[in-house]
Chain A
Amino acid sequence: MSAPPLLSIEQLARHFGALNAVNGVSLAIAPRERRAIIGPNGAGKTTLFNLITGHLAPSGGRILFGGDLITGLPPHAVARRGISRSFQRTNLFPKLSVRENLRLAAAADGRGSYNLFGSVGRLRAPLDKAVEVAEAVGLAPRLDEPAGRLSYGEQRQLEVGVALAISPKLLLLDEPTAGMSPEETQRMTRMLEGLPREITLLIIEHDMDVVSSLADRVTVLHYGEVLVEGTFGEVKTDPRVYEVYLGTA
């Protein structure tokens, strides 16, 4: 609790009609922290991500990133501040090559992207970044393959890669292992473990093995509210969490 939090969420709320999808959530994520958010389906995890990234406007509360208020900013502005996200449902540029998928994300800082007559090959930085990220997510041999032709597991890797390529300070991962085989899940977990610590992680995950090996701390959401927060060990043994997942006996 010594360093000021990188991301600070205060009394955040989002209602859909009578449904309180997110209902007064407060969270503080320290720089370099790896935080997992778990909770049963419908707990408001993805809604929380959508509120952080500006895809949804909150009904109440505020979000501070690096001390600056970011509530109400559109998604592109949030991304430019250094918050990146991967999506639960793969969200790529299927006809473009792996290299171009990553290069577009890496070039999103605006410099050169309004260049009308220049050549893409001359702007080295985004191209180099694309290769670097492809290596980090294990897609280096597939750089020139259209994203749509990758296997499902590879598409999930690229999904994280696109989010990584914008060089974020905070990376939000929405179920990165969703639908993966056990082997693919292991590979993804190792890849995420290998990410530089400078990238603060906020990860929604259902696979408890992934959570236990990745997360420093775990927040349990239930009906849009924070139920428990603590280390994986603490959360695992908390009777309330057991109740939420398995129901009262």
Chain B
Amino acid sequence: MIPRLILAAALVAALAAFPLFAGNYPVKLLQEILIWGIFAMSLDLLMGYAGMVSFGHSAFFGVGGYVAALALLKSPGPVSALLLPAAAAALAALVIGFFSIRVSGVYFIMLTLAFSQMFYAVTFQAAWLGAEDGIVGVPRPVALGLDTGRPLQFHLYLVAVVTLAALALWRIVRSPFGHVLRGIHENEPRMEAVGYAVNRYKLLAFVIAGTVAGLAGSLYTQQVGSITPDAFLWTTSGEALLMVIIGGTGTLGGAVLGAAAFILLQSMVSSYTERWMLILGLTFVLLVLFAPGGIVGALRGRIGIRS
């Protein structure tokens, strides 16, 4: 337990200190990986632990991103940057979840997808949200005692928020609640038969995942300084889904590794060829065929480590 704690602390320290050793572009990539990492982790809570494959996770990423943009333009503080986007995403997840968890499998996928596309359609049309151009010129906040308008302080702030979110998810999957989710994943009818009000647990999982996704969306807005309807697009959900699968479902850590693999590969390949999507696609096909357990699964098989 202690060595693992030290290892985790060292990792966080390394992430925080990264800008001291690396240039602007690698730092930007790392920040993207961290943001997409917690976004994918929140999806993994649903997919890998509760067994709910959502194809509409972009809804919460987008809600978090848009609420952050609107709020930060009014007042660039921690409430606008963290509290409001997370709360709005939680509320959206509560409503969407209330309807979606009643069905499962393909129907759950279709319903969550439909909800997220509705957000896309609305933001694409809404003049007050900048329509297809989105909201630009969003200032970074002063939060956690840091003036995130300065690059290094923004980086520290980002690492802190991401670490806290990851830590929370890490605790949740090991908590009694997390074990209930695994039970539901394994055998939902039996969980119901022994006395669990299954839908309530699924809804809570959906809201938690939505909240963290909203936080990720907010961080995205803060990093880029703008948000467009594309955040809601199904490709946002699809990329997160790919990251989880590449990394290994039901591992949390895998989601971050998947995000890293996806973003690094994308940036490397796209600098060589226009057809980077093709290469990316081929890589994923090979990965899924030859490493069905994802990166984490492959690593476990090789060095024999366990969760």
Contact = CB atoms under 8 A, between A and B. Distances in A.
Interface of A: 53, 55, 74-77, 79-80, 84-85, 87, 91-96, 100, 103-105, 107-110, 112-120, 123, 162-163, 165-166
Which secondary structure dominates where chain B touches chain A? helix
Interface string B173-190: 011111110110011011
A112 B187 CA distance: 20
Which secondary structure dominates where chain A touches chain B? loop
Given A92-B190, A107-B180, 15 more contacts: A75-B192, A87-B190, A93-B187, A93-B190, A94-B186, A104-B180, A104-B183, A104-B194, A105-B194, A105-B195, A108-B196, A113-B196, A114-B201, A120-B175, A163-B194
B interface, size bucket: 20 to 34
B131 interface: no
B179 A109 contact: no
B191 A74 contact: no
A80 B196 CA distance: 8
B195 A117 contact: no
A93 B183 contact: yes
Interface of B: 168, 171-172, 174-180, 182-183, 186-187, 189-198, 201, 204, 208
A96 B186 contact: yes
7 shortest interchain CB distances as A-B pairs: A79-B195, A108-B195, A93-B186, A105-B194, A115-B176, A104-B183, A80-B195
A77 B200 CA distance: 13
A76 B195 contact: yes
Contact of A115 (B175, B190, B193): B175
A91 B187 contact: yes
A119 B172 CA distance: 9
B211 to A, nearest CB: 12
A91 B189 contact: yes
A105 B186 CA distance: 13
Given A76-B196, A166-B194, A107 B187 contact: no
